[in-house]
Structure 1
């Protein structure tokens, strides 16, 4: 898979939010699901900064180890390689709630 892709697994018992910055996109994983974050374009050396919070994890993808070079074009895929859209499996209570990064 390489360093430019980050698999994130939900090993818990409930839904878990994967929150991707800088756009604040959210993707919800059911228990046992793995989503992978990676660059849209191949050949980019992407590093990841992560923040774990109750109910989820926030990921910042950036280029070449430089946190000022935020990767703006990225994908989130499921275990089958299917590209997911923002709001994937978002629970009804989170819809329209103004979900924002914690902290």
Structure 2
């Protein structure tokens, strides 16, 4: 699932239920890719101010969370949670607090 920041501010890609965050600069693109084999992975996506939240489910069943995934940049490099996280970023129960 490719995600591109076409805006003019940093954009957070937030992967649930693990609260992993990956930050994109304007014009940057990341891809969320399932590493699970032999299953049909569905991506459930929610958009909020400055944030795209993604859940990965097996066969679209929210009781079957897929936890074997990778986030990669446009060059194919695997990224760790916290990629380009802004200094002093605040959090709430729903994810990053975007002002």
Please give the TM-score of this superposition, normalised by the length of structure 2.
0.87
Name the counterpart of 1:65: 60
Aligned position for 1:80: 75
1:93 aligned partner: 88
- The 3-state SS of whatever aligns with 2:88 is helix
- TM-score, normalised relative to structure 1: 0.84
Give deviations 1:10-34, integer Å, cap 9, x for gaps: 0000100000011010000001111
Question: C-alpha root-mean-square deviation of aligned residues, in Å?
Answer: 1.4
Native 8 Å contact 1:27 1:89 kept in 2 = yes
CA distance in 2, matches of 1:55, 1:10: 10
More strand by share: 2
Distance 2:91 2:60 in 1: 31
Task: List gaps (5 residues or longer) in structure 1.
Answer: 1-5
Give secondary structure in 2 for the equivalent of 1:27. strand
CA distance in 1, matches of 2:31, 2:81: 14
